[in-house]
Structure 1
């Protein structure tokens, strides 16, 4: 059995086995997640429908690090779908400034994402919300049945949605956990006609991407770009942030990464671009948004300053010349929420390959040992 076109023996030698396996296994994980969601849907509906019916409901998506970026990636889509106040606020913000973010008199559904559910901020956010919001509801979407968050969200006004066990990544970096929690949240909060059928196209496109473009991604990663910029509009901006973090984590900070929206990038951040810079650009399928994405692409190629560009897109276009293009077969007419999944696997693969290119160990990337799988050393104080 090989993962990302590497033998298991070689991956173990490079301390990269679990990261490679957990990236490649995602389509299979998603199939299990979806089957589980369909099975438990009556219980989810019984909990959520009365809450979502409240006209002044506030929904907060939260988590720490990668888990926070699940919320950032889906909040715009959920807001548009539900027509409600939907915000993505990291637990690291909620815990340090709870009185700035929680509003006592506004009914609030706090949706917590967590791989382990043992991060101090994850637990504290649940407790702070209960203390500060008069009408508070809690939904935990987590990968660890033994985690503190899962245990805390099984009482009154609370619901815990558990992912399949293989999504609780063993590797340092969150991969299967991120995408599986994102899938669960979209299924719950963005009901789309024929969701399963449409998502099956996402799975097929991801499997195709892994086998079709692994060598291209490896070739670019082996150039060891010093700066990597991830760009995406709307829901893809949160995904770009996760891509930037994944590279920082897996390369132990050797590769400097950043993120932005294509329009926002022009307003100063573009100064980072030089011939040692790689830009990874997510292209939207929405006809209006797509125009802005392609405009920046035209500008970057016209400037002739950037070292290289990788475009991830579901549609062929005449603008796609002179740089690497990763096309997603069968996704030309897909809603953007279904592009999130193959897009994130693309950048996970890039981070993995860049780590190997600089001889870092993806499964345990922190050479100093000061960055941990579950954050340590955080003090939680009473309100």
Structure 2
């Protein structure tokens, strides 16, 4: 293992480090892009959202799927309609199970490149299985197949995130948060105050990144990320980032605050570090803070980091005060920077090549080797 580096040098100027640290500025660009397209977006969406039977399905693969997992609960609550997060990998493998109800559907596809085999296949099977489906494509690559296929379709709208959000590094960082922020701004118009708060919180995380070094100083063999509601998806994304950027040399796990006790807590031992993303909702936060206290009693205060939007900070708490009045789904955009920075430090400490953790090609930036089989009739 390498010696611990100062936070300012961790990542060695890698693309991954640059793409993590640029995010607050990129989020402001996202808000400007959505504002510029507001008229066209409203013309496309208003007739669809006027139908109370409309089902919204958020889809993508890997980190792109987790965008939907974060956004779905909040969108369902705010829009007062059915919103489901269904990975493209599930849609392609089981289209008639995942799209069993032939109701008007808006399929929102998230993709960094749009070149993963399942990205196009998911939209194609939706067109086959459903009588009436519209497509909102949110992607980082204008030249990707997904964007090109849907660019001129009557029932499709392609929204591109800022050019620099199309990560050059292996792991999705800017692309993940840009697509998450995009769908929130598109389907929950307004959001100016939330974007400003999230950007300030992101800058606070980056300014305080020295404290992330404490996570990897102990050299944990295992990292666990927990969160409730929309923050469960952020926990899942954070766990994947560590797994990817360390090339699997650090084991990871994610769960909800309540779900963790039902067996998965068995992963915790003295070599484990835990990050808990704490909800802004006092009711939900009560469960998050219960598991924080329980785990600190088990493995020590310095082995559990609680990332919070408000409240008095005890040892091991990181309070991002800019998020004090922001709903969890918006806070998630800033919270995930903590997971990304933990992953970056863990990657350097593990000796992995951060921008290319799998030089052998065993795991690829854009998935390869997937054969899309023809969907039988009937």
- TM band (smaller chain): over 0.9
The aligned length equals 369
- 1:333 CA drift (Å): 2.1
Match of 1:295 among 283, 287, 290: 290
Alpha-carbon displacement from aligned partner over 1:285-305 (angstroms, at most 9, x marks no partner): 111111111111122223347
Range that drifts further, 68-77 or 49-58 = 49-58
Tell me, yes or no, if structure 1 residue 197 matches structure 2 residue 189.
no
Hey, what does 1:346 align to over in structure 2?
Answer: 338
* 8 Å CA contact 1:75, 1:88 repeated in 2: yes
Match of 1:166 among 164, 167, 173: 164
Q: Report the Cα distance in structure 1 between the residues aligned to 2:119 and 2:301, rounded to whole angstroms.
A: 39
Range that drifts further, 117-126 or 287-296 = 287-296
- 1:367 CA drift (Å): 4.2
Q: Secondary structure at the match of 2:157?
A: strand
User: How does the TM-score come out when normalised to structure 1?
Assistant: 0.93
Range that drifts further, 203-212 or 115-124 = 203-212
* 8 Å CA contact 2:111, 2:119 repeated in 1: yes
Hey, what does 2:269 align to over in structure 1?
Answer: 274
Indicate how the Cα distance of structure 1 residues 221 and 305 shifts in structure 2: closer, same or farther if over 3 A, else same: closer
- 1:368 CA drift (Å): 3.0
- Which contiguous aligned blocks of 4+ residues in structure 1 show a shift greater than 6 angstroms? none
Query: Which blocks of at least 5 consecutive residues in structure 2 are unaligned?
Result: 1-5
Range that drifts further, 22-31 or 150-159 = 150-159
Query: Which blocks of at least 5 consecutive residues in structure 1 are unaligned?
Result: none
* 8 Å CA contact 1:277, 1:307 repeated in 2: no
Q: Secondary structure at the match of 2:110?
A: strand
Tell me, yes or no, if structure 1 residue 321 matches structure 2 residue 319.
no
Q: Secondary structure at the match of 2:322?
A: coil
Range that drifts further, 97-106 or 45-54 = 97-106
Range that drifts further, 101-110 or 182-191 = 101-110
Indicate how the Cα distance of structure 1 residues 76 and 104 shifts in structure 2: closer, same or farther if over 3 A, else same: closer
- 1:249 CA drift (Å): 0.3
* 8 Å CA contact 1:119, 1:374 repeated in 2: yes
* 8 Å CA contact 2:134, 2:155 repeated in 1: yes
- 1:104 CA drift (Å): 5.5
Q: Report the RMSD for the aligned CA atoms in angstroms.
A: 1.6
Match of 2:207 among 201, 204, 211: 211
Range that drifts further, 55-64 or 327-336 = 327-336
Q: Report the Cα distance in structure 1 between the residues aligned to 2:299 and 2:36, rounded to whole angstroms.
A: 52
User: How does the TM-score come out when normalised to structure 2?
Assistant: 0.94
Hey, what does 1:19 align to over in structure 2?
Answer: 16
Hey, what does 1:335 align to over in structure 2?
Answer: 327
Range that drifts further, 301-310 or 121-130 = 301-310
Hey, what does 2:361 align to over in structure 1?
Answer: 369
Q: Report the Cα distance in structure 1 between the residues aligned to 2:317 and 2:359, rounded to whole angstroms.
A: 33
Hey, what does 1:5 align to over in structure 2?
Answer: 8
Alignment of 1:85-96 (within 5 A): 85-96=82-93
Q: Secondary structure at the match of 2:90?
A: helix
